[in-house]
Structure formats: structure tokens, C-alpha cells
């Protein structure tokens, strides 16, 4: 079976963004509260690894996945 997962490119207008902010900005999650809960519950992956730090700095090329949706950080 082929991997058909779609990755949305999300320009952030800079060089870095915090994970919690990116989850909201990209539309992967609706609110900061949702982002906080998903991160605490271990439902968010960055570059294929579970990430539990809401303040993690993301850089262009990083890939964030949550709840079957995926977005790539773009400058």
C-alpha cells in the first residue's frame, strides 16, 4: 500500500516558531488549549518523534503530525 498522507506546507514568515504556535497557525489544532492537551498527551510528533515540549523551536523543513494530519514548516 502506498503512503498517501498529504503534507501541507505552511509558511511561517520567519526562521523559527514554537510548536504550540505552529499547531494553531497551521490549523492542525483549533486553539492553544487543544495544542497544550495534545502535546501533553503525546499526540504530537515532530520529524517522526513524539514531542512533549510546547515551546520547542521549529525550523523550516520540520514536519509536524497530529491526529492524522501533517504540516511542514516553511520560511
Q: What is the pLDDT of residue 11?
A: 98
Domain definitions of the chain by residue range: 7-74
Instruction: Convert the pLDDT of each residue in 39-71 to its tens digit.
Output: 999 999 999 999 999 999 999 999 999 999 999
| Homologous superfamily of the 7-74 domain (CATH) | RNA-binding S4 domain (3.10.290.10)
DSSP codes, 47-61: TTEE---TTPEE-TT
Query: pLDDT at position 5, please?
Result: 74
Contact 39, 46 (CB under 8 A): no
More confident residue, 8 or 1: 8
What whole-number distance in Å separates Cα of residue 44 and Cα of residue 14? 22
pLDDT band at 33 (very low <50, low <70, confident <90, very high): very high
Mean pLDDT of the chain: 94
Amino acid at each position: 500500500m502506498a503512503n498517501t498522507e498529504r503534507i501541507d506546507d505552511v509558511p511561517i514568515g520567519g526562521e523559527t516558531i514554537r510548536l504550540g504556535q505552529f499547531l494553531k497557525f497551521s490549523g492542525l489544532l483549533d486553539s492553544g488549549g487543544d495544542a497544550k492537551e495534545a502535546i501533553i498527551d503525546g499526540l504530537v510528533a515532530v520529524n517522526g518523534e513524539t514531542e512533549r515540549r510546547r515551546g520547542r523551536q521549529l525550523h523550516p523543513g520540520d514536519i509536524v503530525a497530529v491526529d492524522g494530519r501533517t504540516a511542514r514548516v516553511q520560511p
